[in-house]
Structure 1
Amino acid sequence: MSVQPPSTAVLGVPLAQALPPRIEDKKNQKKFHGFLAGVTSGVTKLVVGHPFDTIKVRMQTSAADRFRGPWHCLTETLKKEGPRALYKGATPPLIGWAFMDSVMLGSLSYYKLILQGGDPNVKLTPFWSGIAGIGAGVTVSFIAAPIEHIKARLQIQYDAKSKLYSGPIDCARQLIRNNGITGLWKGLGATLWFRSWFFMWWFSYEKYAAQLRKRTNMSEAAINFWVGGLSANTFWVFAFPCDVVKNKIMTQPDVKNPPFPTIVSCFKHVYRTDGLRGFYRGFVPCLLRAFPTNACALTSFELTMRWLRTVDE
């Protein structure tokens, strides 16, 4: 008796259409979940965190005697410029952070999936999650550099005398006119250096999450909130000096021969001028911003990721 080959149709429907979607197709869908969920994270981050970011950048880039501290910087900004000043430079991040978090968290999810061998059920160690974080940081730096460059320049416009740009488009236009298209990417090297510390963010994220799941009865959403805030603060403890150098390089006068042509020259200038304390100017508003901003942002990211997984099932 001969064995008949399997039929290529089921009830007249081609077999490829009659069968459920291939596992490979579902894997491909999962690759894009992080990019979609990252948009919600970016929008949340802007709404919660931009006022803190404005105070941080002003503290980092102003003369040492301009503000006595973050509270003085806040009150002076509100008194002289009004509440809207806290959202100066918000237009680039409104678009940029949604896009940046989409790329950052999407690439993080993608690199994790690669390290998992394509199986999302494989559990990565905190170390390998940190490695995926470095990859995500490097990837997003090429998008983040011009966005953060324009944002920082707009944030340090204190009054009519210091106002060089009417808005983000004008700022970009002037930078391109004076320095060419690559002028938008001033500070890219410092941005790559700064975002390589994403290792500490995602390494600590997994460490904190494991401890909270082990020692508490918190819901997964509550764990995401606390872990998001704690891991962000851990990242900033290590990365903040790099951020100071990055913002100083980005906000230099728009000239052909800037005072800080390299990361090393800027690093030496900060140390020579303000000592080690200079690398942590604006640190308090940064930490105050980092916890609620990233706690909310990463909670929205994880909730969206879980929702996307239920939609696919």
Structure 2
Amino acid sequence: MSERAERTTDTAEPPLDSATEAFLAHRNLLFTVAYEMLGSAADAEDVLQETWLRWVGVDPGTVREERAYLVRIVTRQALDRLRALGRRKESYVGPWLPEPLLTAPDVAEDVELADSVSMAMLVVLETLQPIERAVFVLREVFDLDYDEIAEAVDKTPVAVRQIAHRARAHVAARRPRGIASPAETRAALQAFQRAVETGDLQSLLDILAPDVVALSDGGGIRHALLRPVVGVGKVARLLAVGWWKRDAERSVELVQVNGGPGLLVRVNGELDGVLAVRVDDGYVTGLYHVRNPEKLSRVDRQTAVSR
């Protein structure tokens, strides 16, 4: 064997075992399930690690369908984590918002996926009980049948149907109004960006919906709103004079946040926060401003999500 061939053989990557291949094939899906249940990428990654440890200990001969089996494991782990998070959120300072993700442009093209990971939808999902949230996500987003969901959440199929009906009605009463076209979204976001950069009150009044809602999350570390601000006049004044540091060098960058439009906000060159923007019918209807630095680790790179 030649020296070159020997070097090639020595440095070749060993083949993956079947358990690893299966896990990696479904990893983005599993992350998305966990993230939609938890609203936290850091906790979703922990759940994936726990899922992996349980998966490698499973006898392959007992697995009929790898995807369903992995979803079952990740759901159970996420439910345990979600209950623990609920106790943690009780002592959280100010409103709790999901951890924002930078997503690829093609996520926005999958309308249902983009809606399911949007900040607006994740805020609505926070109002569900843990078991309701799990059932809603698995049924409405990932289209699992009731028997599969029943195995994942340790309920009967009949009980799962009832939970799904209750969760669906709850979300329908609170979910955003609709989904804007890409052209509407781009136009509204560009107008909003210009208004924010200039602090022009009239331009803000023109682009914000009458019932626009603004929320912010500083986690007790950064200054943030302690309660939602509702209504075009209040939100416009907040953006024009109260939310941004006018005495600092500030810049905003258009990005895709959780499958929708958003802005990265930098002050004196340092990342200050992420502003996810909800657009309906050509107007900005929701603003979700995350300043808690513990929730900004994912905005330096894109995160893959999938169904």
Bigger-Rg structure (1/2):
1
Structure with the larger RCO, 1 or 2 (CA within 8 Å, 6+ apart): 1
TM-score bracket for this pair, using the shorter chain length: under 0.3
What is the TM-score of this pair, normalised by structure 1? 0.27
Larger relative helix fraction: 1
